[in-house]
């Protein structure tokens, strides 16, 4: 049971790491409000 939970967590972390560039707009949408996203775009942030 616990091994299954640990395995699932590891798989999720690996998938998030592999797809972090594709998910960046999704994370920005979750983590930042509209004004902060506009600031990021105008700053041309590269991360």
SS3 sequence of 19-41: CHHHHHHHHHHHHCCHHHHHHHH
What is the structure's pLDDT at 18?
A: 85
What is the structure's pLDDT at 41?
A: 79
Q: How confident is the model at residue 11 (pLDDT cuts 50, 70, 90)?
A: very high
pLDDT of 47 strictly over 60: no
Residue ranges per structural domain of the chain: 20-47
Question: CA-based angle 39:42:47, to the nearest 5?
Answer: 80
Give the residue-averaged pLDDT of 4-23. 90
pLDDT of 22 strictly over 90: no
What is the structure's pLDDT at 3?
A: 97
């Amino acid at each position: 049971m616990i091994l299954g939970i640990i395995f699932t967590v590891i798989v999720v972390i690996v998938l998030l790491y592999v797809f972090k560039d594709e998910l960046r707009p999704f994370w920005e949408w979750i983590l930042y409000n509209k004004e902060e996203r506009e600031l990021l775009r105008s700053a041309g942030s590269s991360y």
